[in-house]
Every structure is written in C-alpha cells, then in structure tokens.
Copies of this chain bind each other. A is one copy, B any other.
C-alpha cells in the first residue's frame, strides 16, 4: 500500500507538470491506478508498460465487461483457469455460475464453490463454457434454457474444448464454423452436421461466437477476445505479465 501511495503521489505530480506544459498523453484503460494519470511526453506507461495515447478515455464511461464462467461438475481445470487469468487482467468482471450453488469438483481434484446458480446469476455480457464432462451440461434442458434467457443482452459467446457442445444445444451455432478438442472433432461433426468443424486451428471467431480448440487453446482464444474488445496493446500487456511469450496473435481462423 505504501508503494502504491508513493507511486500515485509521484505520478499525480508528473501529471500536473505535463498538464501545465502543453500536449498530454494518457494510459489506455487497464484497471490500474495509471488509468487516471496524465503524462507530458509520449512513450510507455512506467506502471503498466502500455503505449501512451494522446486521447483520454473516460474510464467512468467504459463499460466493465461481465463474463459468466459456467462451470459444471468435472470441468477441466486449465480449460477455465487460463481464460480466467486473461480476462481478469483485462479488467473484466469474472464470476462463476453452475447448475446449483453446491460445490463442484474440477478435474476430480479442485473443490469449487460457484458464485451463482442458473437461478440467480446476473445478466452477463459474455457467457463462457468449458470442457470436462460437458455432456452433462449440454444434455440439461435447464442449462440450455438459461443460456437462451441470457441471449438477448449478450455481446459474446466463448467456448473452450468440448464446452462447444453446451453451446451447440441452443441451436445458435447452426451454419457456423467452429472448433473443439482434437479428440471430439468427429463426434461434433456427427452430432451437428450443419456445423463446419475445423481441426488444426487454435480458435474460430464468428464475430459474436468464439470457439477454441482443447484445454490450453482457451488462453489463446481469450487473448483474441480481449484484443477484439480492448485492443492489441491490452492483450500484449497481459501476455507479458503472465509470461506467455509463446503467444502468436491471430493464430486462429477469423470468419468474414
């Protein structure tokens, strides 16, 4: 806290100097204290390392994206944890939802208490689905109906691995190009012949609906969605922070 206070004092002082001398530069919104700072020279923000811009974003009017992580019992741990890491650093409001509020077990190991059930979960901007026993959720009519109730106010759907089967049940994927876990490509094709299911692709972006390949590919899909919503500088900042220099931007299929 002491460091944060010192940092804030120094940069507010810098802000005043910059403001007095002429042209001002700002940090792109990143949910850190530096969102409020003003600099007198172009360059990188010394706090979050993003490139400064000459346009001030009114952060109070930047909508904080709400993303609901639907976690079924048996959900694959890295499927959701990779995207959770990414979206939380993008400043999204992340919460977990399950069929009920009873604890679930991820990967047969990790005991999780969901924030909400499908009965009381708030409206989200993004719904996210993950693999690992996804068939239980995809065959549950109450889960499908919950997704349909959210649809009208949703900005994006996001699925990792076999989480796509939960989404497919709604019918919203009909006619679209999608992807899934490598061992489930054939079964998705058979079960939903009206989908074009790609293999050997990290993610597929249909505009409103993004589906990714298996397990670790969720990280790349999440970085792609952050790039769409908050720009490449934010995605690059997250990649550097989480030391995921293996990331190759755009390593997926973006549909027209």
Contact = CB atoms under 8 A, between A and B. Distances in A.
Contact of A112 (B108, B110, B216, B246): B110
Interface string A135-165: 0000000000000000000000000000000
9 contacts: A78-B84, A88-B108, A95-B109, A111-B113, A111-B114, A113-B113, A214-B243, A215-B241, A216-B242
Given A111-B113, A216-B244, A82 B78 contact: yes
Number of copies: 2
Interface string A193-224: 00000000000000000000111110100000
A112 B219 CA distance: 21
A108 B85 CA distance: 11
Given A78-B82, A88-B109, A216-B246, 20 more contacts: A76-B85, A77-B81, A77-B88, A81-B81, A82-B82, A84-B107, A84-B109, A88-B107, A88-B108, A94-B109, A95-B109, A112-B112, A113-B113, A213-B243, A214-B242, A214-B243, A215-B242, A216-B242, A217-B243, A246-B246
Given A78-B82, A107-B85, A216 B219 contact: yes
A242 B198 CA distance: 17
Contacts of A46: none
A148 B85 CA distance: 31
A80 to B, nearest CB: 8
Interface residues of A, number: 34
Contact of A81 (B82, B214, B244): B82
Interface centre among A103, A114, A115, A242 (most CB of B within 10 A): A242
Contacts of A85: 76-78, 107, 215
A53 interface: no
Contacts of A78: 81-82, 84-85, 242
A182 interface: yes
Which 3 A-B residue pairs are closest in the complex by CB-CB distance?
A: A81-B81, A78-B85, A246-B246
Contacts of A182: 243
Contacts of A123: none
